């Protein structure tokens, strides 16, 4: 899906940057062509600054989105989910980041979260990046307490794990 969306903007690197930003942040486009998060409008100048483009590129991108029924269906229904990942250090939580060799393999989230739960560690949040929307998707597991070394070793031994990071 990601490749199909980006292909529609193949001729405009600026619009591609705007689309990538909208997808990464979970921003949607309302019926007036305004970028929104929930019901809050985000000024075109802010989107443009973050994407490294002129604000007119943002307008052209939202116009193109609303003119394409497939894109409109996607971008009218995106929503952001609050993440504890960046807040974890402030709240005293731990973050496990899992990078995998093959993100299409079934059972990755279940295997990792089961291994954590079997050690009676409470999971506050899991975030699994969609391989359709990011080049190197990661699984983030936020826990109430640090993970013991034996668990980390066990997780590193899983055949699908390419890299683990602890914060």
The fold adopted by the segment(s) 88-166 is Alpha-Beta Plaits (3.30.70)
Ramachandran area for residue 52 (φ above 0: left; ψ -120 to 50: alpha; else beta): left
Is 77 a residue whose pLDDT tops 80? Answer: yes
Note the pLDDT tens digit of each residue in 86-131. Answer: 999 999 999 999 999 888 889 999 999 999 999 999 999 999 988 7
- Average the pLDDT over 39-46 and give the result: 96
Is 1 a residue whose pLDDT tops 80? Answer: no
Q: What is the pLDDT of residue 147?
A: 96
- Average the pLDDT over 12-25 and give the result: 94
Residue with tokens 């807040």: 87
C-alpha distances in Å from residue 102, one per residue of 69, 82, 164 = 32, 26, 14
- Torsion sign over Cα 17, 23, 24, 28: positive
- Average the pLDDT over 65-74 and give the result: 97
Is 70 a residue whose pLDDT tops 90? Answer: yes
What is the DSSP secondary-structure string of the chain? -HHHHHHTTTT-HHHHHHHHHHHHHT-EE-TTS-EEETTEE--HHHHHHHHTS-HHHHHHHHHHHHHSHHHHHHHTS------STTTHHHHT-EEEEEEES-TTSTTHHHHHHHHHHTTTPPEEEEEE--TTT-SS-EEEEEESSPPPHHHHHHHHTSTTEEEEEE-
- Average the pLDDT over 20-38 and give the result: 95
To the nearest whole number, what is the mean pLDDT of the chain? 94
**pLDDT category of residue 134 using cuts at 50, 70 and 90:** confident
For residues 132 and 15, which has the higher predicted lDDT (pLDDT)?
Answer: 15
Q: How far apart are CA 47 and CA 62, in angstroms?
A: 11
Q: Spell out the domain ranges in the chain.
A: 2-75, 88-166
Is 34 a residue whose pLDDT tops 80? Answer: yes
Q: What is the pLDDT of residue 80?
A: 87
pTM confidence score: 0.77
List, in sequence order, every residue forming a beta bridge with 164; answer none if it has no partner: 98
């Amino acid at each position: 899906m990601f490749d199909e969306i980006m292909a529609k903007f193949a001729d405009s690197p600026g619009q591609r940057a705007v689309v990538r930003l909208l997808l990464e942040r979970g921003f949607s486009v309302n019926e007036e062509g305004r970028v929104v998060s929930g019901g809050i409008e985000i000024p075109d100048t802010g989107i443009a600054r973050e994407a490294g483009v002129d604000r007119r590129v943002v307008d052209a991108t939202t116009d193109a989105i609303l003119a394409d029924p497939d894109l409109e269906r996607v971008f009218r229904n995106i929503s952001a989910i609050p993440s504890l990942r960046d807040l974890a250090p402030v709240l005293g939580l731990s973050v496990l980041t899992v990078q995998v060799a093959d993100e299409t393999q079934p059972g990755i989230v279940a295997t990792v979260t089961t291994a954590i739960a079997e050690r009676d560690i409470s999971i506050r949040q899991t975030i699994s990046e969609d391989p359709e929307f990011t080049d190197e998707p990661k699984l983030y597991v936020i826990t109430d307490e640090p993970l013991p070394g034996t668990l980390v070793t066990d997780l590193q031994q899983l055949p699908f794990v390419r890299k683990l990071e602890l914060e």
